[in-house]
């Protein structure tokens, strides 16, 4: 019998992968497919700055500022850094904005492709690993200054809890228990979360905590944008719970930002 005629069919689990389909059909569209030598221009490529994710009572909350920075210039004031990857998970991007947004789109397509072909969702663990592999594909570009280092967070249906993962440029995947932050202002945001974060916070407390951390990051890090009251640009905040991926409306974010600003002004005046 000629076994080769059918045995490959059992190795075709990659059939459910969009990335594998793209590798066969249009390899030039993959991340890291076209690495260029490092040049001084790399610093002038827009970079996303601060994103964070944290657990709260109902799942996870993700937030990010809206600024992209190219060198010492503001490249954009309104970019989105938190992307829905499917109904139960999201990616927050930091690093070179172009490749990072492309990767978020690729990841989203990958998850949807798998879901449609298999008629079932990937496990949260599977999604987290897949994202790690994509980041590794970008390693060569990362070495040249175009690093992509996202945060991935989602609701684990099996375990019934929110979980979050951070990555390094080699695709290394590390699960964080409570909260984490990524990007140029991440250290400041993390310091802030360290003091403010509590177990099983309500949605309102978690929202306030996330925005406090982002405002702290904007305060200390030149790359991170704070709430822009003049133009009406506010950080993006998303929640991921058992019932799905939800957005926190701009109005609500504005109210909380204003409350924080009010409290801080009072503290500044010693009232």
Partner 1 sequence: MPLPYYVSPEQMMKDKAEYARKGIARGRSIVTLEYRDGILLVAENPSSLLHKVSEIYDRIAFAGVGKYNEFENLRIAGIRHADVKGYSYSRGDVTAKALANAYSQALGNIFTQDIKPFEVEVLVAEVGDNNGAKNEIYHILYDGTIEDEKNYAAMGGQADEIRRFLKDHYQASTGLDESLQLGVRALSVTQNKTLSERDLEVAVLDRTKERRKFRRIPPEALTQLLATAK
What is the spatial distance between Cα 65 and Cα 223, in angstroms, rounded to a whole number?
A: 10
Nearest to 224 by CA among 167, 181, 183, 180: 183
Beta bridge partners of 175: 165
Contact 97, 78 (CB under 8 A): no
Report the nearest approach of partner 1 to the CB of residue 25 (Å): 6
By beta-carbon proximity to partner 1, the closer residue of 29 and 44 is 29
Residue 148, burial from CB neighbour count under 10 angstroms (0-12, 13-18, 19+): buried
CB of 43 to partner 1, least distance (A): 29
Q: How far is the CB of 8 from partner 1 (least distance, A)?
A: 14
Q: Is 265 a catalytic residue?
A: no
Q: Which is nearer to partner 1, 29 or 74 (CB)?
A: 29
Q: Which is nearer to partner 1, 116 or 255 (CB)?
A: 116
Residue with tokens 């970019």: 79
- What is the C-alpha separation between 18 and 84, in angstroms, rounded? 17
Picking from 47, 113, 49, the residue whose alpha carbon sits closest to that of residue 86 is 113
Angle at 60 (CA atoms; ends 189, 139), nearest 5 degrees: 65
Closest Cα partner for 36 from 146, 137, 136?
A: 146
Distance CA 267, CA 74 (A): 30
Q: Which is nearer to partner 1, 13 or 72 (CB)?
A: 13
Shortest distance in whole angstroms from residue 20 CB to partner 1 = 10
Residue 238: CB minimum distance to partner 1, A? 15
Under the rule (CB under 8 A), what is the footprint of partner 1?
15, 18, 21-22, 25-26, 29, 105-106, 109, 112-113, 116-117, 119
Strand partners, 90: 84, 153
Residue in 49, 82, 53 with CA at minimum distance from that of residue 176: 53
Choice between 112 and 178, CB closer to partner 1: 112
Q: Which residues are annotated as catalytic?
A: 49
């Amino acid at each position: 019998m000629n076994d080769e005629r059918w045995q490959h069919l059992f190795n075709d689990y990659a059939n459910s992968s969009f990335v594998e389909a793209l590798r066969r059909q249009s390899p030039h569209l993959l991340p890291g497919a076209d690495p260029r030598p490092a040049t001084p221009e790399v610093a002038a490529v827009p970079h996303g700055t601060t994103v964070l994710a944290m657990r709260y009572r109902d799942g996870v909350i993700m937030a990010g500022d809206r600024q992209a920075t190219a060198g010492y210039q503001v490249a954009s004031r309104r970019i989105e850094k938190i992307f829905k990857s499917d109904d139960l998970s999201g990616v927050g991007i930091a690093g070179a904005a172009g490749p990072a947004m492309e990767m978020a789109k690729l990841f989203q397509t990958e998850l949807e492709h798998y879901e449609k072909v298999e008629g079932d969702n990937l496990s949260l663990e599977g999604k987290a690993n897949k994202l790690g592999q994509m980041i590794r594909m970008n390693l060569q570009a990362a070495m040249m200054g175009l690093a992509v280092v996202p945060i991935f967070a989602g609701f684990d249906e099996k375990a019934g809890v929110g979980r979050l993962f951070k990555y390094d440029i080699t695709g290394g995947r590390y699960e964080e228990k409570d909260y984490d932050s990524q990007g140029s202002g991440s250290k400041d945001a993390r310091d802030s979360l360290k003091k403010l974060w509590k177990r099983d916070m309500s949605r309102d407390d978690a929202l306030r905590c996330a925005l406090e951390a982002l405002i702290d990051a904007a305060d200390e890090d030149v790359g991170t944008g704070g709430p822009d009251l003049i133009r009406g640009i506010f950080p993006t905040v998303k929640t991921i719970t058992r019932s799905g991926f939800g957005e926190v409306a701009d109005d609500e974010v504005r109210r909380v930002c204003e409350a924080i600003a009010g409290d801080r002004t009072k503290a500044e005046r010693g009232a």
